[in-house]
Structure 1
Amino acid sequence: MSQLKIRLYHLLKHGPSLKQIKQIHAQIIVRSLGGTNNLVGALIRSYSAYGKLKSARKVFSKYPTLPPTFLWNLLIQAYSKTAFTEQSLHLFKQMLLLAVPDDYTFTFTITACSRHRTSLGYGQNCQTMVIKLGFDSDVCVGNALVSMYFVYSKTVSARKVFDEMPQRDTITWTSLVKGCVMSGKILEAEQVFVKMPERNEVSWAVMIAGYIGHKMYNDALRCFNDMLVDDNVKPNEAILVSVLSACAHLGQLNQGKWIHFYIDKTRFPKSSNISTALIDMYAKCGKIDYAKQVFNKTEKRDLLTWTSMISGLSMHGLGEEALKVFDEMLVEGIKPDNITLVGVLNACSHSGQVKEGILIFNDMERVWGISPKIEHFGCLVDLLSRAGRLEDAFKAVKTMQMEPDDVIWRALLSACRIHGNVGLAERVIEHVKKTGGGGRLLLSNLHASFGQWDNVRRIRESKIHKEDDSTPGCSYIEIDGVVHEFLAADKLHPRIMEISLKLNEVMKRISLDGDCIPARKFNSELSI
């Protein structure tokens, strides 16, 4: 019988299929082995790995005597990883009446409190019990407490637990870095990161993602380059995706190409996330042909991959190609989401496919069950405005279920200026005055476009007397492999000024022609 127990245990340890687990479970019942601790524990783990928590709980409930602590822990841990975290807390309450908790029990229960989002008080009670039972010196329990307090934005409590921990590991320090990032204290996170005795790939990933979350893209690339010097750490998928995102925002094509080369050279698994990040990076850096190559070589495409390719083509004015890719996606049986449809509607707008765009907009709720958001109405207004259908665009704005934002009003006013429709522009301004959002700037721009400079001066002078907490515009440009950042009203680098002047000349020629020109011709005209 002991040989059978060992054999069944090893079968469960080696990742059997769900069908095999059920067969092993049947053998355990037939052979009356339901009281074997290790075997029952392995069975609970196996069911939990497949998300079959009802089956795992049934195994637990059939235990012939009071279950030992480690079986309670397995079930509490399993529920803490799911959307049913409250079950972990319910089990913990039952356990306190029937068994003695250990350090693992508190680690899993506190983790469940972090994920339940309404259980801060419960977590604080757990901390009290931890101190009473002498588990406050346990590293894993401390790590769980630090993470929990940061989830509830209790920064002072999290830092207090951290400072009082007699021992800390890399997870402890990483939790503190992540917590500082979550609290918006990126500089404090950076200071903690620098002090870390050791860093692993998760630590680097958290710091790089923190920089990107705060739009500190240059710092993200600097951090990535520092990580490459560390021979003990290799970039993981999260790091590569984050850094490619930074390259996309900065237009850092050279760094993006290097990362692509690194992925190919090291034979890093090309998941859909990696492929999506590469497509997005190449598209935003102006290399749509490279983006197409990555897309065509991607074997497993998910919604994000398709959406990234559609948005990239739309960004480059290749509306017909974007719609073709969208049709291919639908044939593959992939349902679009909000972001996909924004990309498709933009593609229709940029390529003048008005009928197709209106049809897709009308199909959003009827076919795909997606209620149009303000972004979709913005695309529709832009689509109609570019086609000169200003009254239809104005009607679409008035029928919106939400309050139009400044972007939509600016798009409509811009169309009024282009088409010389002063009457509609005045009606639009009346609506803007009623809402009070961004009216002064829109009015000023409108009067300037019609040469009414006295009105412009009056509006702008009135604005000076009001507080203006708006964030200045920020731009990035890459020159000779170096990314420069500058704000509105900054003095420009001489080379940037030269490029800007040449760009204005090219744009004037384009506006005189009245048509879009291919990106390659644009680049050759600019000669940079």
Structure 2
Amino acid sequence: MRGLSRTRALLFPKPSKFSSSTSFPAIPILDNANSNFHPTVKSLSQLLIQRPPISQLKQIHAQILSLSLSSHPSLTDSLIHCYHFADDLFSARVLFNKYPLPTPPILIWNLMIRAYSKLQNSLEPINIFRKMLALDHPFRVIPDEYTFTFLITSCAHQMSLVHGVIAHGLVMKIGYAANLYVANSLVNMYGIFKRTDDACMVFDEMPERDVFSWTSLVCGYAKNGEMCRALEAFGKMPVRNDVSWAVMVSGFVGSGRYMEALRCFREMLFGSEYKVKPNEAVLVCALSACAHLGALEQGNWIHSYIDKSGIPYTSNVFTALVDMYAKCGRIDCAEFVFNKIKRPDVHNFTSMISGLSIYGLGKEAFNVFNRMLDEKISPNKVTILGVLNGCSHSGLVEEGSSVFYNMESSWGIEPKIEHYGCYVDLLGRAGYLEKALEVVQSMPMEPDIILWRALLSACRIHRNADLGESIINYIKDLGSCGSSGGEVLLSNLYASLGRWEKVIELRKTMGERKNQPDIGYSWIEVNGVVHEFRVAEKLHPQILEIQEKLKEVLNKAREAGYVANTMHVSFDLIEEEKEHAVAWHSEKLAVAYGLLSTMSGTTIRIVKNLRTCEDCHSALKAISKVYKREIIVRDRSRFHTFRGGNCLCNDYW
């Protein structure tokens, strides 16, 4: 067995979310109807076998106590079972602790370990197991395959790798390593802890495997970001069910490989020999992939599939649909879906608020938030982030301040660093730079690089180089300035002020450390196919046509008044070279392809991984006017809707 490694935070949901209950062996129910006890014991046993509701169960329990029959182990066993199925773990534990001598049978020990294994942050399953092992002869109870299955599952739930490894050692010692259920639980546990080599070792030594064995291995690889190994194992699966497909689709989404997630989803429906009907998890993940890519046509198709297949509209499905439509540039469709929800919960409201916020519809988002409060639904931390983000993009300083300063007293939500980041961004965008700096300096936690970068971005917007310079010096002390893009923002700030000597100095430092700004990517969906463009793209099969089209588009935009904004381009280039440098940004290439490939009047929708630059923003306004097209761009922070030469953001971004 390998030495223990430090575990990292989980990136994906735990496999138990997808796991079928059939992966565990069923515990047989005690049947005392044929026992030779006193008739009263026999009749009470018959009643308990029916698993009565909790109110009747309490009455039967009281009758057992009043008749002094609690010393009968069979009645105690049945009571513990009934309390377990009634989700009254406290009463079951009281009976377990007072079990009449000699000791509970292994069945009851297993039942208690299993019951506690479903709880988070509880060491009780391990404590009960230790108590079992500590029994002396002649009361000793030998753990069986059920015991280890539930114990190992508990170790995974409690995030206790140490206890899981110890349990594995006992499994090897006692001789249950070849048991299917025990081995499955070990593969699952090691996958949760991202110990994929250990999971693979257990898997390879299994004499028999079922679909849960394969799914646990694939999930372990996916959780650890090893999608190539996950895909290889998935390809070898003799049988695939909806859970195994869900693991693959969610794995691709969790790794940021959204197009592959959608390809996997399509293969599940149409490409496999035995077509599998997607479950809720698959649909939610596929809709999430559409949302990230802005793939509206594919998202629409999934919505239609849900309708035609009669799949129930759960809260998760509604939330995913609202999020997909909002992020694909159809906030009207998102509102339509949201209004169909009879009783929206906090997740539905949060999705709608966040969708409105990224459109810069801060007032509308705030109205939905107030409706949520009127319906007595308490917000969560993500809801507050959505509201603050909406206020930031709409300049609603008073409303945002009210939410931020009352979130703990009104809703019991302690501000985290993300909330401080949103509030600082709100103040900075609105020009309250000194106030934003005060908030940062008064934070109860250490500000992170993202927060400082938000403040630095505000300095760039409002051209406050002195404050920006002091911030970058502080960021340098954190040791992560280069990777954060903070120096790029400061360089652009200096360039906008014409302080080229500072630009040279800063870019020289960046070059020595080989720090490069993030590469810009843009995606556009045409006829159900998502096309990816990067800055100065050369690999697209139609790149020559696209380049010619872009030249035509920019010439017409100039005739309509567009002037290339080369403020942030290196000063040592001649003006023509500067214009060429900004001409090949990824969103311009995507727009050119959209104009080349779609009919006149069709709305063009683009998703970009970075913030839209000022030059592209200006160019797209002119292009929307010249070609009479609506162009919708979702950048890293919000939506821009270009129509008739204007943008609905009113240049506030």
TM-score by length of 1: 0.87
Shift of 1:403: 4.7
Residue by residue over 1:312-355, the C-alpha shift from the partner in whole angstroms, topping out at 9 and shown as x without a partner, is 11111222211111111112222222221121112222233222
Change over 3 Å in CA distance of 1:455–1:339 after alignment to 2: same
Q: What amino acid is aligned across from residue 215 of structure 1 in structure 2?
A: G
Find the aligned partners of 1:372 and 1:6 in 2 and give their Cα distance: 54
Kindly report the root-mean-square deviation, in angstroms, between the aligned alpha carbons of the 2 structures: 3.2
Mapping 1:179-198, distance limit 5 Å: 179-198=220-239
Shift of 1:441: 1.5
- SS of 2:50's equivalent? helix
State the number of aligned residues.
515
1:356 paired to 2:393: no
Shift of 1:40: 5.2
Change over 3 Å in CA distance of 1:440–1:349 after alignment to 2: closer
Contact 2:533/2:590 (8 A) holds in 1: no
Shift of 1:386: 3.6
1:428 paired to 2:475: no
Identify the match of residue 115 of structure 2 among 78, 81, 84.
78
Report sequence identity in percent. 47
Identify the match of residue 334 of structure 1 among 359, 371, 377.
377
Residue by residue over 1:18-75, the C-alpha shift from the partner in whole angstroms, topping out at 9 and shown as x without a partner, is 22332343455567487475x6555434322443222112333334653222121111
Change over 3 Å in CA distance of 1:46–1:268 after alignment to 2: farther
Find the aligned partners of 1:128 and 1:104 in 2 and give their Cα distance: 16
Find the aligned partners of 2:245 and 2:420 in 1 and give their Cα distance: 40
Contact 2:400/2:423 (8 A) holds in 1: yes
Aligned to 1:490: 537
Q: Which moved more, 1:328-337 or 1:395-404?
A: 395-404
Q: Which moved more, 1:181-190 or 1:159-168?
A: 181-190
1:217 paired to 2:253: no
Aligned to 1:174: 215
1:137 paired to 2:178: yes
Q: What amino acid is aligned across from residue 432 of structure 2 in structure 1?
A: R
Aligned to 2:153: 111
Q: Which moved more, 1:214-223 or 1:155-164?
A: 155-164
Find the aligned partners of 2:231 and 2:283 in 1 and give their Cα distance: 20
Find the aligned partners of 1:223 and 1:457 in 2 and give their Cα distance: 47
Change over 3 Å in CA distance of 1:509–1:377 after alignment to 2: farther
Mapping 1:49-60, distance limit 5 Å: 49-60=85-96
Q: Which moved more, 1:210-219 or 1:122-131?
A: 122-131
Contact 2:521/2:535 (8 A) holds in 1: yes
Q: What amino acid is aligned across from residue 254 of structure 1 in structure 2?
A: E
- SS of 1:100's equivalent? coil
Find the aligned partners of 2:419 and 2:640 in 1 and give their Cα distance: 31
Aligned to 1:160: 201
1:388 paired to 2:431: yes
Q: Which moved more, 1:124-133 or 1:168-177?
A: 124-133
Shift of 1:237: 1.3
Aligned to 1:475: 522
Aligned to 1:89: 126
More helix by share: 1
Residue by residue over 1:131-171, the C-alpha shift from the partner in whole angstroms, topping out at 9 and shown as x without a partner, is 34332221001111222233344333222111111011111
Aligned to 1:461: 508
- SS of 1:90's equivalent? helix
1:20 paired to 2:56: yes
Shift of 1:430: 2.0
Identify the match of residue 258 of structure 1 among 273, 278, 301.
301
Find the aligned partners of 2:71 and 2:304 in 1 and give their Cα distance: 54
Change over 3 Å in CA distance of 1:24–1:526 after alignment to 2: farther
Q: What amino acid is aligned across from residue 450 of structure 1 in structure 2?
A: L
Q: Which moved more, 1:167-176 or 1:315-324?
A: 315-324
Change over 3 Å in CA distance of 1:44–1:202 after alignment to 2: farther
Contact 1:177/1:206 (8 A) holds in 2: yes
Mapping 1:39-50, distance limit 5 Å: 41=77, 43-50=79-86
Aligned to 1:249: 292
Aligned to 2:569: none
- SS of 1:476's equivalent? strand
Change over 3 Å in CA distance of 1:293–1:391 after alignment to 2: same
Shift of 1:358: 1.8
Higher relative contact order (CA 8 A, sep 6+): 2
Find the aligned partners of 1:214 and 1:136 in 2 and give their Cα distance: 33
TM-score by length of 2: 0.71
Aligned to 1:101: 143
Find the aligned partners of 1:301 and 1:407 in 2 and give their Cα distance: 32
Find the aligned partners of 1:18 and 1:217 in 2 and give their Cα distance: 47
- SS of 1:46's equivalent? helix
In structure 1, list runs of 5 or more residues that go unmatched.
none
Find the aligned partners of 2:152 and 2:89 in 1 and give their Cα distance: 20
Shift of 1:84: 5.9
